[in-house]
Amino acid sequence: MIDRAMVWQIARYGVVGGAVTAFQAAVYWALADRLGWHPQVANLAGYACAVVSGYVLHGAITFKGQDGGGQESGGGPMARMARFVAVSLLSLALNALWVWLMVAVLRYPVWSPIPLMGVVTPGIVFVLNRQWVFR
């Protein structure tokens, strides 16, 4: 059963994550489509932008107060950051998979991985952030 607090957290994640994902997708698209960068390099640049903005925004908004009243759980802020980077690397790998599959294998346009980047990857990342990073 999902409680009211969880519903609001999912809503915050949707807004914050949507903004971070849109930012990442915009960087990816601008570099790959407009500047002609290799799609994987453009994806890496978008990822770097998203990691920094995502850590700050999700910690301050999405998962604020989830750490047991302000006390760091699971080893302190450096451990939390390490867990966030690990989840972010998984996110990068998933998005690289979408780019490879859609652009290299299926030969779809460079924008075609963006829906998967915006729906599938964030869903997996939410669960990992909630249960492991910002616990």
Mean pLDDT, the chain, rounded, equals 88
- Enter the tokens of residue 58: 């999700």
Check pLDDT > 70 for residue 133: yes
What is the C-alpha separation between 99 and 56, in angstroms, rounded?
A: 26
Specify the pTM.
0.71
Total count of domains within the chain? 1
Predicted pLDDT at 12: 93
pLDDT of residue 73: 53
Q: Does residue 86 carry a pLDDT above 80?
A: yes
Contact (CB, 8 A) for 57 and 36: no
Query: Which of 25, 40, 36 lies closest to 93, judged by CA?
Result: 40
Rg (CA), the chain: 16
Task: Give me the domain span that covers residue 111.
Answer: 4-133
